[in-house]
Amino acid sequence: MSIDSKPLNVLFLCTHNSARSILAEALLNALGNGRFRAYSAGSSPREHQRPNPLGLQVLQAAGIPIEGLHSKSWDVFAARDAPVMDLIITVCGNAADEVCPVWPGHPCTAHWGYPDPSAGTGTDEEKLEAFRHTMHAIKRRLEIMCQLPAEMLEPASLQTSARALSNS
């Protein structure tokens, strides 16, 4: 990517768009240095779905901005006036197994599975630790992606690069 290049649009998908996809959106926007513009959505967010407060708490504690984060349906990004995605990454098994909408521009796809930190039981501190663990796992993978050379983010290489990171 040259300095004049537009950022790559990346959409993170999960079922409810309340934990993993929200964490990934916030992290990539913070780490991407203008090379990426991250979004998130859910295949079936619940009515009045909101980001999980524990996820927002761990992001804030890590110094990651949370302004503007909100849960939304993936239908928002299949609409005509939606930003065209370059890469779509599912971050939960359920979303990866679902039939996705036809995305404008036919973006590259990858699956980076993470356990659901909101599914755990235990003390409040144990639940918070699950979110911290998930945030750090996502962050490690995104840091690698952000350091990829420009040629690995070109359309011809992007899908291979993103899918290779699923093993990181």
H-run or E-run covering 155: helix 155-164
Choosing from 11, 13, 14, 19, the catalytic residue is 14
DSSP state of 4: T
Choosing from 23, 91, 92, 142, the catalytic residue is 92
Residue 108 designated active-site: no
**How many other CB atoms are there within 10 angstroms of residue 102's CB atom?**
7
Paired tokens of 63: 């110094």
Residue 146 designated active-site: no
CB 21 within 8 A of CB 13: yes
Distances (CA, A) of 63 to 54, 56, 79: 14, 11, 32
Residue 92 designated active-site: yes
Choosing from 1, 66, 78, 100, the catalytic residue is 100
Catalytic residues: 14, 92, 100
